[in-house]
Amino acid sequence: MGVNSLLLTYLILNALKSLIYLFILIMAARRLKDRSFPAFWLACYVGLAFVMHMFQLAADWSFFPGLNMAGRLLLDEYTGLLLALILYQSLRVFLGKEHQLIVFFGGLALSLLLFYLQNVLLVFLAWLGLTVLAVVLLVRTLGMTHQHLHRNRFFYWLPVLILAVANELTVFYRQGLDGGYLRLGAVMMMAYVVLRHHIPDARDFSRQFIIYFVTTFGTLIFYIAGFVFADALFKTVPGYNPLFVGAGLAVIISLLFTPLFGFVRKLVNRLFRVQSYDPSQTLREYSASISNILDLEKLVNVAVGMITEVLEIDKGYLFLVDPEIGEDEKNVFRLTGVRVASNSYESGGILAADSPIVQYLLEERAPLLQYEIDFAPGFMDAPLSERKWLSGLMLDVYVPIFAKGEWIGLLALGPKPNSRYTDEDLNMLATIASQTGVALENARLVENLKLLNTQVREAYLHLDKTNHDLAKLELTKSNFISIASHELRTPLTVARGYTEMLLEDPSLPESVRELVQGIHKSMLRQHEIMDSMFDIAQLDTRSMELHKQDVFIPELIRAVAQELSKSASERSQEIMLDLPQLPSIKADSNTLRKLFYHLIINAIKFTPNGGKISVTGMQLPANGRDLPEGGVEIIISDTGVGIDSEYQEVIFTKFYQPGGLLNLHSTGKTKFKGSGVGLGLALSRGIVEAHGGKIWVESPGYDDKKCPGSDFHVILPLRLQGESKTVRMGSAVRLNL
């Protein structure tokens, strides 16, 4: 009966071990879908341990009759070496180190060599070396890790190593098998650490345990001491009943337990360096401190400074968040760090809009721990660049800041020195973030306004410099025009005189006369251009002298139209004058003749053959601001190609050529759309403005097919204040040329 019970126990225990191995192996395999490398190495470790367990079971049931106990021990030792190799690699990956596959494959090759040599001492030394490497790696990582939750998670690997080492030591130094229960314990602890990311805080658990243990033990000592003292004091008293003593002590303990518990907790918290603060008082002080700050950098320094002081943390940052379009045309959020006086400066980074990290912050609007980013399965799909950037900051918690429903900032805080962020801490930080939102938005608006003002000032400075350069360029151009017109007029006048002398010579052969007439015609055209350049130069230097006299506009325009009638006839065009009775104006008749000459010749040039040019006029009443004595308005209309609205101002600038007309440049004065030197309309505006008038053009737009036409308006004042009026009486002038 005893043998059967032992056999049944053996079967139950081994079946249970097998089920545990299979369950852990399945759970690790499921985590492989998340591309979890620690889960991969866990599966390797559990798989090898399970295979070894099944092999030992098969050997126990004599499935391998040629395998003796020494052979089984030797095989278990080699298995321990391989498990130590896998454990070391798994620990490296779990701690965030590189895989070091060269170490793994090198160790695997060494194990095969040792298996071939069958030297137990070398196997033990190799196992010991790997174990020491694993322990040193874990201890160094614990010492370098300042984030409490990370350090707590790494701490759980200590029992894994202890159980694994203890199991292999029983193999190397015992005669007989221990059943692998220590190895099973290492596997279970390793699976718990790898497959779960929410792990109890060992330090907090120890603190709570000490508090309750000390309080309970103190209560028990008080009860025993009180009972012994009361029993010794009152046992001789008649009617003494220990029950009443116990009841009395229970009442006293119930009254003293709460103060005792609080006293013990305060002492233990001091021992564990757990800081305490009043969240309500902190929030009131924080709100009062930031409410009236509009300077962005000052706001960030005050906010981060207060939080780091209350929570006793070493560093904190505040990042400004701005939505952008990334290089791959995807939505991203750019995080820009604001300089904090107590910290080193962090420039910032970029988070993708579809990243799990961003989605959590936008949807939950709650603090996010770096621990969650590193170990929670939901964040494993986050871009590696984002995870590396956040991990490199060496921070512990990120709190989003929202204003008007928009994500505008991120409060990032470093680890607490001796504890983790409690739920009370995270709730307070969430409230602080909501209070910071409005202040941060106002500060950003002020900062943007300052930046805009700076940009405007820079733009004005640049504009002033540009205007200065343009003025210098304009002066250079005016000087060139003035010099060119002066220097060329004299030789042109001499050449013109000689050609006229040759034409007056009756003995000049006819064939030569024709050549001289062509030269003379070109000289007249060049002289006309030089006159225009000279007039432009005088207008630029404000040195044009106006010899004002009474001028009757209809007569002057009639003379100009008569002069250009031949040019219009060559293009089959009709010039129509419809000018009513107009008063005389005080003006320079010579410059006004040039004005209307250029306007009419411009109309002829940009009107197709068979078109019409009409000149109309009207008298304008007195206007106290522009026309103190009244004025006249002349309108030169044509049925030409028209002018686009965007060019209706620039056509009056010097040397302007309409787009595409440079290729149509012609020395002829009236060729259709022929481009001249670009001085006629500029000179026209200069003449009008020199007389105190205005000139502009109106046109539906440019169309060389439909020819919508243009209307050039010229307004000239009658005379200066105090000048006499002279009016030519008579009927309106109406000419058809």
pLDDT tens digits, one per residue of 432-471: 999 888 888 888 888 888 888 888 888 888 888 888 887 7
Q: What stretches of 177-330 adopt beta strand conformation (E)?
A: 316-325
- 720 pLDDT band, cuts 50/70/90, is low
Of 443, 372, 430, residue with least CA distance to 401 = 430
- Please, how many CA atoms are within 13 Å of residue 257, restricted to the half-sphere of its CB? 13
- The mean-pLDDT minimum among 30-44, 345-359, 480-494, 684-698 falls in 480-494
DSSP state of 472: H
Average pLDDT on 56-85 reads 72
Return the residue matching tokens 């929202």: 402
Most confident listed range (273-277, 446-450, 512-516, 518-522): 446-450
The amino acid at 483: I
At 376, list the tokens: 């929670």
What is the rounded CA–CA span in Å between residue 635 and residue 580? 12
pLDDT digits (tens, 9 = 90+) for 601-635: 889 988 999 899 999 999 988 876 778 888 999 99
pLDDT at 239 over 80: no
Long-range contacts (CB closer than 8 Å, 24 or more residues apart) made by 163-169: 163/189, 164/83, 164/84, 164/87, 165/131, 167/80, 168/77, 168/80, 168/83, 168/84, 168/127, 168/131
Is 90 exceeded by the pLDDT of residue 531?
no
Type of residue found at 493: T
Cβ distance 57 to 14 under 8 Å?
Answer: yes
HEC-encoded secondary structure of 62-112: CCCCCCCHHHHHHHHHHHHHHHHHHHHHHHHHHCCCCCCHHHHHHHHHHHH
**pTM (predicted TM-score):** 0.57
Instruction: Just give the CATH number of 2-199.
Output: 1.20.1070
**Spatial separation of the C-alpha atoms in residues 690 and 629, rounded to whole Å:** 17
Contact 688, 542 (CB under 8 A): no
Candidate CATH numbers 3.30.565.10, 3.40.80.10, 3.90.1410.10, 3.40.50.300; the one for domain 547-736 = 3.30.565.10
Tell me: the pLDDT tens digits for 178-198?
A: 567 888 899 999 998 888 877
**pLDDT band (50, 70, 90) for residue 513:** confident
Distance CA 495, CA 502 (A): 11
CATH number attached to the domain at 298-440: 3.30.450.40
Residue of 296 and 707 predicted with greater confidence = 707
The confidence band for 541, taking pLDDT boundaries of 50, 70 and 90, is low
Question: Confidence band (pLDDT; 50, 70, 90) for 636?
Answer: very high
Radius of gyration from C-alpha coordinates of the chain: 51
The reported pLDDT for the residue numbered 337 is 86
pLDDT value for 400: 94
- Could you give the strand order of the β-sheet that contains 631-638, starting from the edge strand earlier in sequence? 694-698, 710-717, 631-638, 612-620, 574-579, 733-736
C-alpha 395/C-alpha 315 separation (Å) is 8
698 φψ region: left (φ > 0), alpha (ψ -120 to 50), beta (else): beta
pLDDT band (50, 70, 90) for residue 668:
low
Instruction: Inform me whether the pLDDT recorded for 67 exceeds 90.
Output: no
Q: How confident is the model at residue 152 (pLDDT cuts 50, 70, 90)?
A: confident
What pLDDT, on a 0 to 100 scale, did the predictor assign at position 727? 37
pLDDT of residue 8: 75
Which uninterrupted H or E stretch holds 410? strand 406-413
What are the structure tokens assigned to 553, written together?
A: 């506009």
pLDDT at 491: 76
User: β-pairing, 574-579 with 612-620?
Assistant: parallel
- Where do the structural domains in the chain lie, given as residue ranges? 2-199, 204-271, 298-440, 547-736
